[in-house]
Structure formats: structure tokens, C-alpha cells
Amino acid sequence: MSQYLVELYSPNVRWQALSAEQRTHFLQGIQAAMASLSSQGVEILALGETEAGIDQASSHRYLGIWRFPDAQTRDALLAGIQASGWYAYFDHVNAASGAGGFDSHMAALTGSLV
């Protein structure tokens, strides 16, 4: 079953303290590591800046939405993110879930009221 990951992140003071050259070097390493993801069935659905002007907007600056063929592939990506040092440079929040639909979501919400 497909798995999904939503990331919200913002550069922190450690990132801002890096020189442009250091940032570029770090991001080149990230790009190199990402090159093989599509062959593993990983899909990037969206990567971009968040919109601040919407109702209940997140204060995070960036958003990533991913789809994976299974939880093991998702967890491998998360382990790679951790190992890269990414979390040292970005205030980061992850949310993950399997595929679901409206009816099952409504049932889950109803059950959470009890």
C-alpha cells in the first residue's frame, strides 16, 4: 500500500550561519543522494515554499510531499535525511500516513470522539 510523507521545514540559525559555499556543498550532497530515488518507486509530489496568507498557515517556510511504495522505503528516506545532517540545519516536522479515503477518515474521526 502507498505511504505518504509530508515535511514542513524552515532554515534555522545554523543554516543561516553557513557561507553560500557551505550551503551549496551540503545541498549538492543531498541532490546526489536523491538521484536514485525514482528507481526505488519514490515520487516527489510537491516541493516548494509554503503560502503564508492562507487560513491557519504553518509558520514553516517549505513543504515536501512524497509518495512511497511501502513503509520500508519511506523509513529508508527518513533515515537518509537523519544521516545527512539535515535536521541540524532546519526546524523540521514530519507527518506520515498510508493511503486512505474520505469514508475511512470520517470513521476514524468518529472513533476518536469516544
| Dist. CA 83–CA 7, nearest whole Å | 16
Low-confidence ranges of the chain (pLDDT < 70): 113-114
| pLDDT score at 104 | 84
| pLDDT score at 88 | 97
Amino acid sitting at position 58: S
Residue 107 CA from chain centroid, whole number = 26
| pLDDT score at 37 | 84
pLDDT digits (tens, 9 = 90+) for 64-82: 999 999 999 999 999 999 9
User: What is the pTM (predicted TM-score) of this model?
Assistant: 0.87
| pLDDT score at 21 | 98
Give the bridge partners for 65, in sequence order. 6, 46
Range(s) of the domain holding residue 101: 3-112
Selection from 28, 57, 60, 56 nearest residue 47 by Cα: 60
- CATH number for the domain including 30? 3.30.70.1030
| pLDDT score at 76 | 93
Question: How many domains are contained in the chain?
Answer: 1
53-90 as b/e: b if 16+ CB within 10 A? eeeeeeebebbbebbbeeeebbeebbeebeeeebeebb
